[in-house]
Amino acid sequence: MLGTLSDLDLRLIRVFLAVVDAGGVSVAQTTLNVGQPTISTQLSTLETRLGFRLCDRGRSGFLLTAKGERFYERSKKLLGAVEEFSAEARNMDKKLVGTLNIGLIGHTPVSQNARISEAIASFRLRDEAVRFFISVRSPGDLEEHLLSGQIQIAVGYFWHRVPILEYTPLFVEQQIAYCGRGHPLFKRAERLDSSEVADYEWTWRTYPLPEVQLSTTPSKVTAQADNMEAVALLILSGHHLGYLPQHFAAPYVKQGLLAALNPEKLSYEVTFHMVIRQHSRQSQSPIVQAFLEDLKKAHLSGAVDV
């Protein structure tokens, strides 16, 4: 059984993580720049030191054992802590040292991404040595990752409110109903009203849209999607009507592939929020506090009241 960790153990654990992330020993050869026999030997050595088998590997493929799955998750946490400690040790003279995990939803307006970039630029002017990790996920995943501590800040559209999360409005996005070039309504799209589109087939989101009422009957919703790209594909088919963010649909409209049904009558607005876990100012991470200040400043011109 593995006792005190040595440098060798850390190297072997890194090999193990690389193999799991690659999906097998043969694929990991390129990542690790060593041959398959060497990797197999290193895995066997680690298993011997641990006293249990981490994975099944051979002609039948690569598969983690139950203990291997648990060891994988704990190893990631261990090496993350080692890297953070090393960064802090190297930067003892800096005021802000550590990591910042930010989660975003996909297809945010370019102007708003520019504001986030501006906040990052401002943050980098501080006395800091912070490593950024940015991931793109669905709103539900972002909230789950905030609750579990995997991310510290999220920016996106959230249709419900988790009591222990704090939601700060940042900007408003307009969603408009569109049809594809092959749809019967395409040539007169801009003059339509709700009654004229209700009898056609629609695509709708898999998550709630509290800002808008269903533009048809449930029986006419014949397709659902959980992201903008999938919604766009269904609308572009010429068979479904559906809502898209105006900025996202603009390139398709310019190419003559989409047409807005009636922006004045068939549209709605959603508010994007910056979300963090609720903390007192004393318990909030100084890194998070500093970045929140920079993010709020970058969005001052686009702030909204909700």
Please identify, among 90, 125, 146, the residue that sits at the C-terminal boundary of a domain. 90
242 shares a domain with 217: yes
Is there a single domain that holds both residue 67 and residue 139?
no
pLDDT at 200: 93
User: 262 and 145 in one domain?
Assistant: no
The Cα–Cα gap between 246 and 272 comes to 15
Whether residue 178 is found in the same domain as residue 255: yes
Residues 161, 182: one domain?
no
* 189 lies in the same domain as 152: no
Q: Which residues pair with 168 in a beta bridge?
A: 274
Domain annotation covers residue 13: yes
Domain membership flag for residue 287: yes
CA 24 from chain center: how many Å?
Answer: 26
2 in any annotated domain: no
Helix, coil or strand: residue 184: coil
Considering the domain boundaries, does residue 210 fall inside one? Answer: yes
| Same domain, yes or no: 50 and 179 | no
Alpha-carbon dihedral of residues 274, 279, 282, 284, nearest 10 degrees? -50
Give the separation between CA 193 and CA 203, rounded to whole angstroms. 17
Range of the domain at 201: 174-268
What is the secondary structure of 221-283 as a DSSP string? EEEEESSHHHHHHHHHTTS-BEEEEHHHHHHHHHTTSEEES-TTTSEEEEEEEEEEE---TTT
User: What's the domain count of the chain?
Assistant: 3
Q: What gap in Å lies between CA 302 and CA 272, rounded to an integer?
A: 11
Domain final residue pick, 90, 116, 132: 90
Looking up residue 48, the CATH number of its domain turns out to be 1.10.10.10
What backbone phi and psi angles, to 5 degrees, belong to 72?
-60, -50
**Domain for residue 48, yes or no?**
yes
Residues 190 and 41 in one domain: no
> Tell me, what CATH number does 138's domain have?
3.40.190.10
* The domain boundary residue, chosen from 90, 120, 147: 90
Q: Are residues 131 and 159 in the same domain?
A: yes
Residues 79 and 187 in one domain: no
- CA dihedral (292, 297, 300, 302) positive or negative: negative
- Based on the domain organization, do 262 and 185 belong to the same domain? yes
The pLDDT tens digits along the chain (306 residues) read 555 677 778 889 999 999 998 888 888 888 888 888 899 899 999 889 888 999 888 777 788 999 999 999 989 888 877 777 776 666 655 678 888 999 998 888 778 888 899 999 999 999 888 889 999 988 888 999 999 889 999 998 888 788 899 999 888 889 999 999 999 999 988 888 888 898 999 999 887 777 777 777 888 999 999 888 999 999 999 999 999 999 999 999 999 999 999 888 899 998 899 999 887 555 678 899 999 999 988 877 544 433
Residue 124: half-sphere exposure toward Cβ, Cα within 13 Å: 8
What's the whole-model pTM score? 0.63
Please tell me whether residues 158 and 186 are part of one structural domain.
no
Residues 6+ apart with CB under 8 A from 50: 1, 2, 71
Cβ-contact 45, 10 below 8 angstroms: no
Which residues is 223 bridged to in the sheet?
A: 203
